[in-house]
Structure 1
Amino acid sequence: MAKSLSAFTYLTFDVVGTLIDFEGGIKDCLAAIAAEAGVTVDGEEALTLYRAERYAAVAGRFPDDLVRVYLAIAPKLGLPVVTACGERLRESARTWKGFPDSADALARLAKRYRLVAMTNARRWAFEHFSEELGNPFYRSFTTDDTGTEKPDPAFFEQVFAFVATEGAAKEDILHVAQSQYHDIGISRTLGMTNCWIERRHAQNGYGGTIAPERVTVPDYHFTSLAALADAVEKGSH
């Protein structure tokens, strides 16, 4: 039986894919490049190619790595293989949108919890994401701050160390995320209570996110962030 939602002090959030629609942002940018080149791109095919390349051994920090990723996948999509287009994809991160329910749900949740961002994105990109979301975060951790990326336990350990400075522990945290691979599985391993926001519930496959070896059954499971906020306000257990 999961702990009551009222039992937590902190909600920690994955950002890209949970709060920010990076798949939509990437597809929109690639579609625009394709239109200018006189070709069309299948968005889901592009995400599949992106996913495979993004997790290559030579991958760099996100979203800077999108330049390299673009140059690798462009030939397979019939797109111009030019660095400027890769830079355009990277810079598109500055204008990626939140999911329609993200900002409102975060504002509602911020009335009851301390919201902490945990993102594999670099600080420069996170600042744009946070602004898009209404700057709801009490504290934020980016890959620039931690020197690593989820699902590395070291990323989570830095968050645990932070809450300890406020007299709290990981038992006071509910970790909220859409990625089984980056967040839900490892948070379970580390003994956290977790909440899976299954953003792709109506779609097949894993889109731009790497597939997990196995699906972890979460403590809480919703298909939108609004549903989590609703459950909190209703005092759901």
Structure 2
Amino acid sequence: MLRLKDFDAVTFDVYGTLIDWEPSIIAFLDAWAEKEGIKTRGAELLMAFDRARAEIQKERPAYLYPDVLRKCFDRIAVELDLSPDPVQREAFSATPHFWPAYSDTHDGLKILQRAAKVGALSNIDNASLASSCKNMNFTFDLVVTAERVGAYKPDWPHFNAAIADLQAQGIPKERILHVGQSLRADITPANKLGIRCAWINRPDRLLGLSGEGAAEAKPDLTLSSLAELVAAIS
């Protein structure tokens, strides 16, 4: 059993775990596909996005997240035999500022913050995360973004930076719990680094559940919501 008293810090993946991004991504891509007369919809477009995103985020030097979204949009367009639309590309790159938080995010984070440092380890740029923090109405004690470390999870720089920051505050790796929805980007690297982890498997959500390394993931605890996590470890 994982108990909150055994940890001094709880770090979170943000998008998919705390921010409910998939419906917004699907809605944007569906509207675009309909406008272009393309029949591909829903999960197919979402997984096309996931494939493109995983490949683009491996490239070094790393792109800022709005550029990742621009490149994803262009690759999806090519996959659908469409010419990239610069107006739609720019609109897609700005969507993170409007992605909503899950209904249990704010209360769950505030409860955890009473007992531990709460951090964000996110494959995002600083400006987009700032908007998401406003949408969550929450201020993290620790923030590690892709923009800060110049890399994207599942690469380890996010985790290494968080471990170093927390060690500087007297919190060893053994007292960190990492929480994520993505098996590929969060649970598998946490396993490899010896960080205990909880998988929030949000119902009907798909991103990060497949691809390189996902099948190897071994969470210490599996739940379906942040509220369930708080209840289980408190």
TM-score (norm 1): 0.87
Query: How far apart in 2 are the matches of 1:22 and 1:209?
Result: 15
Q: In the alignment, which residue of structure 2 is the partner of 1:183?
A: 186
Q: CA separation of 1:99/1:3 partners in 2, compared to 1, >3 Å: closer, same or farther?
A: closer
Query: How far apart in 2 are the matches of 1:208 and 1:137?
Result: 23
CA drift at 1:38: 5.6
1:130 counterpart letter in structure 2: C
Question: Are the counterparts in 2 of residues 12 and 175 from structure 1 also a CA contact under 8 Å?
Answer: yes
1:222 counterpart letter in structure 2: L
Q: In the alignment, which residue of structure 2 is the partner of 1:55?
A: 54
Query: How far apart in 1 are the matches of 2:97 and 2:220?
Result: 33
Question: Are the counterparts in 1 of residues 199 and 222 from structure 2 also a CA contact under 8 Å?
Answer: yes
Q: In the alignment, which residue of structure 2 is the partner of 1:7?
A: 6
Q: In the alignment, which residue of structure 2 is the partner of 1:226?
A: 227
Query: How far apart in 2 are the matches of 1:217 and 1:208?
Result: 14
Question: Are the counterparts in 1 of residues 14 and 120 from structure 2 also a CA contact under 8 Å?
Answer: yes
Q: In the alignment, which residue of structure 1 is the partner of 2:143?
A: 140
CA drift at 1:216: 2.1
CA drift at 1:116: 0.5
Query: Which of residues 158, 162, 165 is equivalent to 1:159?
Result: 162
Q: Point out the more displaced range, 175-184 or 15-24.
A: 15-24
CA drift at 1:55: 2.2
Question: Are the counterparts in 2 of residues 51 and 208 from structure 1 also a CA contact under 8 Å?
Answer: yes
Q: In the alignment, which residue of structure 2 is the partner of 1:106?
A: 109
Query: How far apart in 2 are the matches of 1:207 and 1:137?
Result: 24
Q: CA separation of 1:107/1:41 partners in 2, compared to 1, >3 Å: closer, same or farther?
A: farther
Secondary structure of the corresponding residue to residue 178 of structure 2: strand
Q: Point out the more displaced range, 151-160 or 184-193.
A: 151-160
CA drift at 1:189: 1.2
Identity level (%): 30
Question: C-alpha deviations, 1:34-71, integer Å up to 9, x for none?
Answer: 45446554110001111121122575332421111112
Is 1:195 aligned to residue 198 of structure 2? yes
Q: In the alignment, which residue of structure 1 is the partner of 2:15?
A: 16
Q: In the alignment, which residue of structure 2 is the partner of 1:211?
A: 211
Unaligned runs of 5+ in 1: none
Alignment of 1:73-84 (within 5 A): 73-77=76-80, 81-84=84-87
Query: Which of residues 45, 66, 69 is equivalent to 2:69?
Result: 66
CA drift at 1:229: 1.4
Query: How far apart in 2 are the matches of 1:151 and 1:39?
Result: 32
Q: In the alignment, which residue of structure 2 is the partner of 1:94?
A: 97
CA drift at 1:151: 1.7
Query: How far apart in 2 are the matches of 1:216 and 1:3?
Result: 17
CA drift at 1:135: 2.0
Query: How far apart in 2 are the matches of 1:186 and 1:118?
Result: 12
CA drift at 1:215: 3.6
Count matched residues. Answer: 229
CA drift at 1:76: 4.1
Query: How far apart in 2 are the matches of 1:157 and 1:34?
Result: 40
Question: Are the counterparts in 2 of residues 25 and 93 from structure 1 also a CA contact under 8 Å?
Answer: no
CA drift at 1:112: 1.9
Q: In the alignment, which residue of structure 2 is the partner of 1:45?
A: 44
2:186 counterpart letter in structure 1: D
Question: C-alpha deviations, 1:93-132, integer Å up to 9, x for none?
Answer: 1101112222222122222221100001011111111111
CA drift at 1:33: 2.7
Q: In the alignment, which residue of structure 1 is the partner of 2:127?
A: 124
